[in-house]
Amino acid sequence: MTSDKVVPPTASRVAAPVPLATPGATFTGFLVAAAVLALGVVGIRDVLVDTGVIAGSQWISGAFEYVDGLAFQSWMLPAGIAAVVIGLWFVILGLKPRRKTANALVGVVDTWIDPADVAAVASVRVESLTHVRSASSHATRRKLEVKATVTLDGAATAESEIRAVLGDLTQTLSPSPRIKIRIQTGERS
């Protein structure tokens, strides 16, 4: 029996995509798609009326005849300006870049952590301190807020200990969130 050397395939690592929020134009895109779909339904109805499958008058030609017979009225100028402003707003929403939703880990390429996970890690790290009874955290990409309940004998040094533990955490994140600490004192039960 011959032994063939099996060479493992080299895996090329593909960069992880940056976690981004949904585009600003998602809602307006949905509305435009719904309007085009409704227009299609009206068009199908008019074809059925034209071929005699259903009775009635055509809606599209009726709408064109109504618009063709209009004369200038005072409400048309503000309505036109409003239509231009809404159109520009749609263009701005379509071109607006999507915002990042996670923090990058410093020193680790293409690795991201969600702010909710940062808050969970912060709570665990703060609760591991000796004088901390409980902790809860809330985080965004730019701010980490921790509420801690500490014992009376640890109240004097609690904030500096918590800030040190959280400083180690936030230094690993880009952008590094600001730390806000709220301390309550209470006895162990």
Tokens at residue 176, please? Answer: 């590094």
Residue 189 has pLDDT above 80, yes or no: no
Q: Identify the pLDDT of residue 179.
A: 96
Phi and psi angles of residue 112, each rounded to the nearest 5 degrees, phi first: -125, 150
pLDDT band at 110 (very low <50, low <70, confident <90, very high): confident
169 versus 14: the higher-pLDDT residue is: 169
CATH superfamily of the 103-185 domain:
ANL, C-terminal domain (3.30.300.30)
Q: What is the mean pLDDT of residues 49-55?
A: 94
Distance, in Å, from the CA atom of 131 to the CA atom of 119, rounded to the nearest integer, reads 20
pLDDT digits (tens, 9 = 90+) for 120-169: 999 999 999 999 999 999 999 999 999 999 999 888 899 999 999 999 99
9 versus 161: the higher-pLDDT residue is: 161
Give the pairing of strands 143-150 and 173-174.
unpaired
| SS3 assignment, position 104 | strand
Domain with CATH 3.30.300.30 in the chain: 103-185
pLDDT digits (tens, 9 = 90+) for 60-105: 999 999 888 889 999 999 999 999 999 999 999 989 999 999 999 9
Q: What is the mean pLDDT of residues 19-45?
A: 94
Q: Tokens 């960069």 identify what position?
A: 15
Q: Identify the pLDDT of residue 24.
A: 87
Chain-centroid distance, C-alpha 111: 18
